[in-house]
Structure 1
Amino acid sequence: MISSNNRYLVGLYDNENTLLKAIKKIREDGVSITDALTPFPVHGIEDALGLEDSSLHKAGFLFGLTGFTLALALMTWINYFNYPINFGGKPFFALPSFIPITFELTVLFASVGMVVTYCFRNGLYPGAIPKIMDKRTTDDHFALVFALEENEEQVNIDHINRLLNQTGAVEVKERVFEEDEEIFE
């Protein structure tokens, strides 16, 4: 994920196989890769980058559990405490009749909760200004992104530059984002 840093080194590749080989070579050399940008999903890139499994499913479980609990609590309160009706001789807490609504609220809470969590976790909320490293990454190029600190030594930058060129990058450039920069500039 792109950090809040404003200075990046971007290496562009024109082939996903070259990108995967470059990621492995650069990681073997001990250089930390901030992000990899691709125009389509690339099989094996998560393993090559050493990314951990997403914990979004845990959030989905918690949201689903919340929906399940809320549905049971609401129907119990309505049918047992607030407005008890003797309907066909059924007990007030008739669990089998609660199943459809419980299922629906569980699925609703889990799905909406996961979408909202995903959007906020990835900075896709309204008003967010995306950091576009290179327009070609949405079409036919692949990019490796390295965050550069304010006091990053030139030796480090030259080393990363050299690694990118050795691994087949078609272009290497430094990208600096200004605070008042236009979207999609």
Structure 2
Amino acid sequence: MASKVIHAIYTDDDVLMQAVKDARKAHYHIGEIYTPFPVHGLDKAMGLAPTRLAITSFIYGIIGLAVSIVMMNYIMIEDWPQDIGGKPSFSYIQNMPAFVPVMFELTVFFAAHLMVITFYMRSKLWPFKKAENPDVRTTDDHFLMEIDVENHSVEELSKFLQNTGAIEVNLIDKQE
């Protein structure tokens, strides 16, 4: 399915930020913004919902902690108890201070690795995926705002974007 979008190119992040605010105020739907570096406050200006990645990270850490507790209890207490340094291995609670570093490391390990996987899945960054960058200049020094044309006049939208400081405005047939 093809849809028409307008690509507006900017050379300054402050001008882009004001253009995003103006476009939202004029009720235009901003599809995506491509920048060469993170622009502080752009997500809030676009009206994006806050991320829930911190919640998933906490859940992944709890899973790692639970796995470490179960693993150490099974390995060191039930399956193969050993007398190490004169410390008997009869109960998990008595030996827990020695297990704290392992519990910490597995908590961090699970949180970090599962967060990377979650981030890639959420961002739809699959192995061998073709790049979606519509203009190579956005990897160097330009900013691109993609606005869906929908029911708006192309000429009116182009004029609006040029008034916000866009140096270039192009109508594109976007393939989905």
Q: Deviations over 1:10-40 (max 9, x none)?
A: 1111111111111111111111212221111
Which runs of 5 or more structure 2 residues have no equivalent in the other structure? none
CA contact (8 A) 2:2 2:173 kept: no
> Structure 2 vs 1, CA of residues 99 and 86 (structure 1 numbering), >3 Å: closer, same or farther?
same
Match of 2:68 in 1: 71
Match of 1:109 in 2: 110
Which runs of 5 or more structure 1 residues have no equivalent in the other structure? 180-185
Q: Percent identity?
A: 33
Match of 2:129 in 1: 128
Give the structure with the larger strand fraction.
2
> How many angstroms apart in 2 are the aligned matches of 1:11 and 1:159?
13
Counterparts of residues 27-176 of structure 1 (less than 5 Å)? 27-87=24-84, 88-90=86-88, 91-93=90-92, 94-147=95-148, 152-153=150-151, 155-176=152-173
Deviates more, 1:56-65 or 1:83-92: 83-92
Q: TM-score, normalised by structure 2?
A: 0.86
> How many angstroms apart in 2 are the aligned matches of 1:80 and 1:102?
15
What's the C-alpha RMSD, in Å, of the aligned pairs? Answer: 2.1
Deviates more, 1:82-91 or 1:62-71: 82-91
> Structure 2 vs 1, CA of residues 89 and 13 (structure 1 numbering), >3 Å: closer, same or farther?
closer
Deviation at 1:123, TM superposition (A): 1.9
> How many angstroms apart in 1 are the aligned matches of 2:146 and 2:126?
22
Q: Deviations over 1:101-124 (max 9, x none)?
A: 111111011011111111121122
Instruction: Work out which structure has the larger RCO, using CA pairs closer than 8 Å and 6 or more positions apart in sequence.
Output: 2
> How many angstroms apart in 1 are the aligned matches of 2:157 and 2:54?
35
Match of 1:14 in 2: 11
Q: TM-score, normalised by structure 1?
A: 0.83
CA contact (8 A) 2:30 2:46 kept: yes
Match of 1:182 in 2: none
